[in-house]
Amino acid sequence: MQLRNKFPGSLSVLILLLCAGTLGAAEPGTPTGPAKNRVAGPLPTSLPWGADIRDRIPRFAPDRLLVKFRPGTAASEMGRLHRKNAAKPLREIPGIGVHVLQVPKGSVRKMQARYQANPNVDYAEPDYYRVLVIPDEGNDPGPDVGGDYCRQGIL
């Protein structure tokens, strides 16, 4: 406790010096730690980690279609079009008037073309998935890959 009062911030300075030592200790491109944990050369700007996961995620729901009818389209006309295409209305998105339809699985593109061909339809599109974050914990390089880990805390 007395050391803490005698040397305020000494722990912060020690950590800063340890990290700074890893930043300028070696020539550029020279590994400073165990070779088994090093990446040869600089890290690429776009890493291929998890690319196979992104390729396997479907872009849209296989059995849903979003349809916006033109203003003034009669409900009977909408119902007739749904029955003709074997589509089941699930709900309407409030505020924008878009109808969410359930269509036979795997027929989204075909149904999109059919609805789009109708003059009462403003637009029809698949119910696209919006992936915000793709978890990639298994491929994270971690702090021992390069000397940049300490630099994050300094900058």
Q: What is the pLDDT of residues 41-100, one digit of tens each?
A: 554 455 455 556 667 778 899 999 999 999 999 999 999 999 999 999 999 999 999 999
**Which residue, 84, 91, 83, is CA-closest to 64?**
91
- Per the rule left: phi > 0, alpha: psi between -120 and 50, beta: everything else, 102 is beta
Domain boundaries, the chain: 57-128
Q: What is the pTM of this model?
A: 0.53
Pick the CATH number of 57-128 from 3.40.50.1360, 3.30.70.80, 2.60.120.380, 3.40.50.300: 3.30.70.80
For 23-57, the pLDDT digits (tens) are 444 445 545 544 444 445 554 455 455 556 667 77
pLDDT at 58: 83
